[in-house]
Amino acid sequence: MTNAPRTPAPLLTTPFTSRTPAGEVVDGIDLSGRRTVVTGGASGIGAETVRALAAAGAEVTVAARRPEAAEPLVRELGVRAAALDLADLDSVASFVRGWEGPLDILVANAGVMALPTRVQTADGWEAQLATNHLGHFALVTGLYAALRESGGARVVVVSSGAHRNVPFDFEDPHFERRAYDPWTAYGQSKTASVLFTAGAARRWAGDGITVNALNPGFILTGLQRHLDDETMRAFGVMDGDGKVTPLPYYKTPAQGAATSVLLAASPLVEGVTGRYFEDNQEARVVAGDEEQPGGVAAHALDAAAADRLWEYGTAALRTRSTRSPR
């Protein structure tokens, strides 16, 4: 008897759209007492994530490289600000040591994009991979006990559609031998973000911790600060006089934060883990070279690659911890 082909599970859908602002996603949701960390929460979609979660009653800690930048949110919303530089593992370790009690929601939102030249951290890591993935890996795994203590924690990892064309290069992840390219480095770091969620979801399902990734879409924020005028003009968002204007399909920061907030707080995704969302819907799996926009690349969900990356990250942190203090 021939086994019938397995029918793929239907993708999860919600009533929200790409234009739904984050505040609407949490309308009617009570997050009172839910302890939350949002990295990079002082500006951009991070700030809108903070604003929506705090409005729903969550106790939010804005983890930022410059915590003073979060002071307007502290005054407006009564949230807390704390120092966290994801490219500096001493800073990550200090944040982890300072956390007490359960952690209900962790939104790994902070990131850097398309650094024009290769920047190396003190640990010898390429800066985009260090910030976008390895720093978050150290943070989330360091806070694992606090997440488990919650009994129903959610981890949300902000990735990007830039991951689709760039598998993770295990042979030279830090561009020590291959030529550095800003967008390849960025795309690789965002593939790592999705692979991390796949690995964590399988490891932590029994602890009641859900872990999902997302693409927030196109939004003009401080993330573009490293792009030169020529690149901004090539993207079509800067005119000849240097005026920056979003294209019609770009989102506002509040709309860009909506999918993060959905995964962090909505009962519509209760118990959902190891998935990738965009525009408030679960995304389809695509081949990396498809021209049609959207979707999550199969190489970012590969279980073997996810396990290999987890082992790589664990080894990198272990090796670093055995060095003499700087």
Query: What amino acid positions are annotated as catalytic residues?
Result: 186
Q: Which residues are paired to 37 by β-bridges?
A: 61, 106
The answer to whether 300 and 275 are in contact (CB under 8 A) is no
Distance of alpha carbon 68 from the chain centroid: 22
- Cα distances (Å, whole numbers) of residue 242 to 68, 80, 221, 245, 252: 29, 36, 16, 10, 20
Picking from 267, 15, 301, the residue whose alpha carbon sits closest to that of residue 152 is 267
- Cα distances (Å, whole numbers) of residue 125 to 44, 148, 180, 310, 319: 26, 29, 13, 16, 13
- Cα distances (Å, whole numbers) of residue 85 to 40, 95, 110, 268, 318: 9, 9, 10, 32, 19
The token duo for 259 is: 């999918």
Q: Sort residue 245 into left (φ over 0), alpha (ψ -120 to 50) or beta.
A: beta
Full DSSP string of 131-146: IIIIHHHHHHHHTHHH
Q: Sort 245 into a burial class: Cβ within 10 Å, 0-12 / 13-18 / 19+.
A: exposed
